[in-house]
Amino acid sequence: MQTLEFLLEIGVEEIPDWMIPRALESFHQRFREALDKAGLAAGVQVRAEATSRRLTLLVDGLPAGQADKSETLSGPPASIAYDDEGNLTKAGLGFAKRAGVEASALKVGSDGKLTVVRSIAGRPTGEILAEALPEIILGIYFPKNMVWTGKGGPRFIRPIRWLVALLGGAVVEFEIAGVKAGRTTYGHRRLGQGALEVGSIAAYEAKLAGNFVVLSADERRRRIVEGSRAALPAGAGLVVRDNPKLLETLTYLTEYPSVIYGEFEERYLALPDEVLETVMLVHQKYFAVASEATGKLVNGFLAVANLDGDPDGEIRRGAVRVLRARFNDAEFFWNADLEKPLSARVSDLEKVTFQAQLGSYFDKSERMRKIAAALCAAAGVEAAVAQRADRAAELAKTDLTTGMVGEFPELQGVMGGLYAAEQGEPAEVADAIYDHYKPAGAGDSIPRTPEGRVVAIADKLDTLGGLFRLGMLPTGSRDPFALRRSAYGIIRILVEGRMRVSIDELVAMAEAGEHAAALREFLVERLRFFLTEAGYQYDEINAVLAADDKEPLDAATRCAAIAKVRPTENFEPLAVSFKRVRNILEKAGGVEAYAAKPLDESLLEAGAEGDLYAAFQTVQQDAASARSGGDYPGALERIASLRPALDRFFEDVLVMAKDDAIRENRLAFLAKLLRELSTIADFSEIVSGAAA
């Protein structure tokens, strides 16, 4: 069948840059689903592109129409469809009418019922698209939508200004909010020539390119990256400060990006790099420039304009003026804030509300100090570290009262650390304050120092405990206070920071009240998520947490040991045997019930049962010794070595013996074996042959 290309463009007012990637994914998915539903998806290639003013699908290999098909309909039994004289009854005539065929087309099938085979002509693709496109477009996901034609009108992220829909060069006719689909698109708002008539995908891309629209996001991204390098003064030893988030923002803010280099006064370099870069990033969306040799910022910046360069330098001069004003503000805040020591700001926190029912940030700081002390005791840190952690917890939130953080909330914690260093606090205290919001996300690092890790956990744990205490638990996908991120951050710090603190200890410190059990479950769930993200298999994680879910660092260490030992020849076969043991015990009355019963060695039979018991005693001692020395892989290998003896036991011994005493003793033996050798991992949770 003939295939056609299809072009679909939605022209709109400017879409917020951060919404575009998700919307484009939704657009692509909804169009694909419509093709699947219509039976048109096979072999079709779809490319989705977007700028701030347009969402576009470029489709190749679309069938001109659906293939014809036939279907078999089954009707009433012949005994009901025909009378004694062989004439159709009302039931038979009704079936023929519903099937849309003449009575002569009816047959009696092998099941004795009327049957008819009818042909269904495939519909033209243009007709299908005309019906489907309005729903596809208006169903594109955006966090918020608006109505621009009045109450009851269609909703979209921004008003739709034009629609292009061309199938094989012909217009697919439909309309949304009075905007009819056609072949007219528009170039760059300021640089383009106005309305542009297009008849194909090639013509569309060519005319946009000729009117200062780079349709491809990848190409715009490349232009910004390469343009930034090219804009730097040659031979100056400068590099662009990497910022993937800003790059993505500028990619979707522009249709024709051009990079412009500018310089500001050197005196502003007296401000911390963090302040300079935040001013450039948050307020102006400029890239910072650094020395390649030292990594320190220099008095240069890169602006990305949605224009064809800056031949007269007007954009550069305007950017310098704006930056000067912003840097003047930052300079004022920096100097004014330093006049008041952080220690003198502690009492000011009483006027800053953390949460209405949980009190002020002063109250939070006091709770953080209490948690920090308990953490230090639980983790066994040195007294000096505990003392510095207490000081950092006391001062951690004081920068909320500074002018700089009031102007740049993104610098919370960072400014506290910088001010602490300037005011003579120990470096460990300053670094702990600077880092205490870490990790801010999956790609962020944990705090650099023991003091920072303690304060970061204390901060997050206080928030978790307080909100759980108030019953403000995350539900489903809703998590307005980012509690999952806080809990995940705690787990990461404990594991990556090698801190031996148990989840039960954390829950006790958090003081979650009647929701303590829910908080424990929440933390274990985040531990499970952490282990999954680390690449361990689901059954390995299940085995580890079933054995012991108390200490995150220990759980991660045991997962690593299982992953290492799993490929050995005895591991998975032993897991199968352990699963068999557990099933036998569960049917007989439960593992714990039999593990609590005394074992009478005199009732163990010579041969396979006695050999297994002797091997068990040796393996138990060896595994315990290896585990106590931190050698989990060695302990698991010793446990796995029990496999031959356990196999012979099941081959030669009838567990459910007729003699009550022997049977009960045998079950008690298996229960003890299972419990004692499942302290690292519950082998019965391992799925034989699971993907490694």
Is the pLDDT score of 327 beyond 80? yes
Spatial separation of the C-alpha atoms in residues 58 and 47, rounded to whole Å:
5
Mean pLDDT of 266-280: 95
pLDDT tens-digit profile of 15-61?
999 999 999 999 999 999 999 999 999 999 999 999 999 999 999 99
Spatial separation of the C-alpha atoms in residues 419 and 425, rounded to whole Å:
9
DSSP state of 641: T
Determine the pLDDT at residue 451.
Answer: 97
H, E, C per residue of 662-680: HHHHHHHHHHHHHHHCCCC
Q: What is the mean pLDDT of the chain?
A: 93
Q: Please state whether 511 falls in left (phi above 0), alpha (psi between -120 and 50) or beta.
A: left
Two structure tokens written together for 520: 């424990």
Tally helices (H) and strands (E) across the chain. Answer: 27, 20
Mean pLDDT of 516-528: 96
Q: What backbone torsions phi and psi does residue 354 show, to the nearest 5 degrees?
A: -85, -55
Determine the pLDDT at residue 690.
Answer: 52
pLDDT tens-digit profile of 197-244?
999 999 999 999 999 999 999 999 999 999 999 999 999 999 999 999
Determine the pLDDT at residue 689.
Answer: 63
pLDDT tens-digit profile of 371-402?
999 999 999 999 999 999 999 999 999 999 99
Mean pLDDT of 458-467: 96
Per-residue pLDDT band for 691 (boundaries 50, 70, 90) equals very low
Lowest mean pLDDT among 57-61, 69-73, 320-324, 546-550: 69-73
Contact 246, 285 (CB under 8 A): yes
Taking each helix axis as running N to C, give the angle between helix 483-496 and helix 552-565, from 0 to 180 degrees, rounded to the nearest 10.
Answer: 70
Contact 282, 410 (CB under 8 A): yes
Is the pLDDT score of 166 beyond 80? yes
Is the pLDDT score of 269 beyond 90? yes
Single-letter residue type at 121: A
Please enumerate in sequence order all residues whose Cβ is within 8 A of that of 120, keeping only pairs 6 or more positions apart, or say none.
68, 69, 70, 71
Spatial separation of the C-alpha atoms in residues 31 and 135, rounded to whole Å:
10
pLDDT tens-digit profile of 48-76?
999 999 999 999 999 999 888 777 888 89
Lowest mean pLDDT among 37-51, 366-380, 573-587, 676-690: 676-690
CA–CA distance from 645 to each of 100, 354, 435, 657 (Å)?
A: 73, 61, 53, 19
Determine the pLDDT at residue 1.
Answer: 63
Two structure tokens written together for 172: 């697919």
Per-residue pLDDT band for 116 (boundaries 50, 70, 90) equals confident
| CATH numbers and ranges of domains, the chain | 3-66+124-210 (3.30.70), 69-120 (no CATH), 217-338 (no CATH), 344-533 (1.10.3210.10), 566-685 (1.10.730)
Q: What backbone torsions phi and psi does residue 528 show, to the nearest 5 degrees?
A: -60, -45
pLDDT tens-digit profile of 639-666?
889 889 989 998 998 989 899 999 999 9
Determine the pLDDT at residue 433.
Answer: 97
Spatial separation of the C-alpha atoms in residues 44 and 28, rounded to whole Å:
12
Mean pLDDT of 465-491: 91
Mean pLDDT of 529-553: 94
Spatial separation of the C-alpha atoms in residues 138 and 273, rounded to whole Å:
45
Spatial separation of the C-alpha atoms in residues 6 and 124, rounded to whole Å:
13
Report percent pLDDT > 70 for the chain. 99
Report percent pLDDT > 90 for the chain. 74
